[in-house]
Amino acid sequence: MSGGNRSEHQRSAPLPEQRSDWRKRSVWEDRHRTNTTPAAPEPSVVEWLDLLPRGLALDVAAGAGRHSVALARVGYKVVAIDYAETALRTLQSIARAEKLSVWPLLADLSAFAFPPARFDAILNVNFLDRALVPRLVDALRPGGGLLLDTFLIDQAATGHPRNPDFMLQHYELREMLREMDLVRYREGIVAYPDGKSAWRAAALAIRKSPRTAEGA
């Protein structure tokens, strides 16, 4: 029946926003295909690691897993989510070679149902989806810690990244985490050992327990 065929076709045709999501995803797949050696962790992760509660960690938009590996090496069990399969394959091979407790999970963060109050620590580095942040806080157990570190709007002048929507305004991160206990916060230029630098904002915040949150 032609009507039946048409509706079947309509159901399977991608919506314009799906097409743009697939394009973005394939750009990430290509980048990860050519870059198979994870870089060193961000300085904030190295500096603040001892302040993060130990146990089960979630690394969102993990890429090839430079932070998942750093966490697993000091004893965390890590769930690493990304939608780029190439990146997760790199992470998986490193984790297998070193016998690290890392579970790569191929998923789109915009639609992923996080278990509530499950993780002791969550890392969100070089990825900004403002709507994701409250969902990450819900996925932390009370007393669990979120470390978020990404580009600051001043970085736009350098041309990388290009889209200012993916950069934080000044003090935006502090405001985003206002319901949490802020343990560390900084904004400014970060200098890397290879001589490069970047404008960034970084925070480590602890989810309040229900009683503390009520009293706050």
Q: Enumerate binding residues for ligand SAM (CB under 6 A).
A: 28, 61-63, 66, 82-84, 87, 108-110, 125-127
Sign of CA dihedral 88, 90, 91, 93: positive
Residue placing its CB nearer to ligand SAM in the complex, 90 or 187:
90
Of 115 and 142, the one with the shorter C-beta distance to ligand SAM is: 115
CB of 61 vs ligand SAM, minimal distance in Å: 3
Give the residue nearest to ligand SAM (CB): 63
Provide, rounded to whole angstroms, the least separation between the CB of residue 49 and ligand SAM: 14
Instruction: Report the length, in residues, of the chain.
Output: 216
Nearest distance in Å: CB 137, ligand SAM: 18
First-to-last alpha carbon distance for the chain, in angstroms, is 63
- For residue 181, the minimal CB distance to ligand SAM (Å) is 24
Give the nearest distance from C-beta 38 to ligand SAM in angstroms. 7
Please choose, from the candidates 180, 175, 166, 165, the residue with its C-alpha nearest in 3D space to the C-alpha of residue 213: 180
Beta bridge partners of 100: none
Nearest residue (CB) to ligand SAM, 6 versus 130: 130
The SS3 assignment for 215 reads helix
Q: Are 76 and 103 in contact (CB under 8 A)?
A: no
Nearer to ligand SAM, 61 or 102 (CB): 61
DSSP letter assigned to residue 164:
G
Nearer to ligand SAM, 7 or 20 (CB): 20
Selection from 147, 139, 133, 135 nearest residue 53 by Cα:
147
Residue-by-residue DSSP string for 82-145: ES-HHHHHHHHHHHHHHT--EEEEE--TTT--PPTT-EEEEEEES---TTHHHHHHHHEEEEEE
CB of 8 to ligand SAM, least distance (A): 28
* Residue 70 or 205 having the CB closest to ligand SAM: 70
